């Protein structure tokens, strides 16, 4: 009886060292993987809920056409054409433009900032702002620099405008 117990003990030691310990380590690694996957699943579920909430919100007639007004890429060419059309339709001369890319952390979207200069009649400035507001693309301006000069009895305004727009991705 003692020999069986001794043989069992001698058999258990290598079994424990070569099979149970590695299996235990593998189990802990799998459990850690499962925890990470569960966390990712919860993140995806939150994002899915946010998308469903956004979809529900966008079903509201107030938001008709919102996604069409935020292009999928940072389209500099189309923005130039829109700004040129707005400037010309309000009597301003479009002089120069430069671009910079960025991100809006609050809205979690990409931005394209167009710094441009225009010159025109000072009394048409409100028309220019109204045309920007009605443009087919969401754009905003937080500040601008201007100077007014009287030429032949007409107030002429020269402006430097940093205008931003949004995009769903940063391609282009």
Give residue 172's pLDDT: 47
Structure tokens at 21: 């310990």
The CATH superfamily label for domain 69-167 reads: Ribosomal protein S6/Translation elongation factor EF1B (3.30.70.60)
Calpha distance 119→160 (Å, rounded): 9
pLDDT tens per residue across span 59-118:
665 555 555 556 556 678 888 888 888 888 999 998 888 888 888 777 777 888 888 899
Per domain, the residue ranges of the chain are 2-61, 69-167
Helix (H) or strand (E) holding 42: helix 21-58
Residue 107: φ, ψ to 5°? -90, -5
Calpha distance 111→53 (Å, rounded): 23
- In this structure, the number of other CB atoms found within 10 A of the CB of residue 23 comes to 10
pLDDT tens per residue across span 1-19:
667 777 776 677 776 777 7
Give residue 42's pLDDT: 93
- Yes or no: say if 111 and 138 are a contact pair by the CB < 8 Å rule: no
Least confident of 16-30, 49-63, 91-105, 116-130: 49-63
Closest Cα to residue 157, out of 80, 82, 90? 90
Q: Which residues pair with 103 in a beta bridge?
A: 110
């Amino acid at each position: 009886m003692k020999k069986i117990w001794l043989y069992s003990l001698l058999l258990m030691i290598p079994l424990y060292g070569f099979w149970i310990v590695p299996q235990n380590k593998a189990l802990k690694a799998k459990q850690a993987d499962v925890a990470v996957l569960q966390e990712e699943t919860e993140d995806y579920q939150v994002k899915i809920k946010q998308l469903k909430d956004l979809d529900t919100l966008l079903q509201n007639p107030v938001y008709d056409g919102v996604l069409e007004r935020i292009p999928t890429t940072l389209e500099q060419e189309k923005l130039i054409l829109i700004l040129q059309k707005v400037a010309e339709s309000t009597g301003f001369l479009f002089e120069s433009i430069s671009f910079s890319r960025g991100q809006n952390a609050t809205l979690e979207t990409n931005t394209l900032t167009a710094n441009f200069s225009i010159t025109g009649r000072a009394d048409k400035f409100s028309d220019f702002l109204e045309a920007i507001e009605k443009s087919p693309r969401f754009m905003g301006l937080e500040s601008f620099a201007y100077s007014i000069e009287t030429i032949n009895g007409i107030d002429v305004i020269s402006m430097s405008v940093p205008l931003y727009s949004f995009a769903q991705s940063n391609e282009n």
